[in-house]
Amino acid sequence: MQQKNRISSAILRLGALLLTGVLLGGCAADRAIHRMRAQNFPQPRDKGVSASVKARALYLKAAPNGGLTAESIKAANTLLTVQGPVRRQILTIVPLSPAGDKIAPRLAKALEAAGARSPRSGSYAVKDGAKSAAGQNLERQQHGWDLELISEALVVDVTDCSVADPDNWTINPYYAVGTMGCANEANIAMMTSDPRDLLRPRALAPAEGKIASSAIERYYAGEVNELIDIDFNGDD
């Protein structure tokens, strides 16, 4: 009986060793496969998510009624949307014509009503004068426009997570789809309320310790506040 127990124990130890070897071998093989993939397949999306300051400008035209044309309004809304929340943008309005001088204050008020923080008024001054080559080039560029809207903001750059090579994904799926985890990074980036959170951790505000500990103090002192209990049974 004792001999049989020793044989059973030896078989169990041998089985455990074999199982451990298989598991370790499987992990090693898995790592080897990942290394082979990294070496043999290009990584088309190795840039990842980033945040950087973006400055974008847009020329606008005045409408005969004293406002902006429909095309200009649509283009301005698109620009402000691409730049993120309007309250985080630094906006500058540059009049380029007499009509632009009249519209600029109205545009500033409309932007403030939408949440912008005190849009600034700007102007262009060429160092060598308006008659210089640089001044004439600037005049040609601005000819026919009434206003320029400039937006500066910290913007999140989200990687394109579409299939890298849709014509080849059924044959070489890993190569065609691209780097794994792209969709997760893109979702996190689009849910970020402040792009600076992707650059550095946000410091927590100081906690009010007295308020946090007041409930424990009342518990120890036997002065627990009663919960609200509305009872209509005694009403006539």
Residues 120 and 172 in one domain: yes
Q: How far apart are CA 102 and CA 97, in angstroms?
A: 9
Residues 112 and 69 in one domain: yes
In a domain, 217, yes or no: no
Given this model, what pLDDT does residue 15 score?
59
Given this model, what pLDDT does residue 172 score?
76
Q: Which domain holds residue 89?
A: 45-199
Residues 121 and 23 in one domain: no
CA nearest to 38, candidates 217, 178, 199, 218: 178
Residues 32 and 94 in one domain: no
Given this model, what pLDDT does residue 152 score?
93
In a domain, 24, yes or no: yes
Given this model, what pLDDT does residue 111 score?
92
What's the CATH number where 62 sits? 3.30.1330
Given this model, what pLDDT does residue 189 score?
78
Name the H helices within 68-208: 70-82, 98-113, 133-142, 173-177, 182-190
In a domain, 212, yes or no: no
Strand partners, 152: 55, 90
In a domain, 176, yes or no: yes
Q: Which residues of the chain have pLDDT under 50?
A: 2, 22-24, 26, 232, 236
In a domain, 91, yes or no: yes
Given this model, what pLDDT does residue 29 score?
55
Given this model, what pLDDT does residue 176 score?
74
Residues 36 and 62 in one domain: no
Residues 25 and 113 in one domain: no
Q: pTM value?
A: 0.55
In a domain, 57, yes or no: yes
60 and 94 in contact (C-beta within 8 Å)? no
Residues 131 and 31 in one domain: no
Q: Say how many domains are in the chain.
A: 2
Given this model, what pLDDT does residue 5 score?
55
Residues 35 and 49 in one domain: no
Residues 30 and 127 in one domain: no
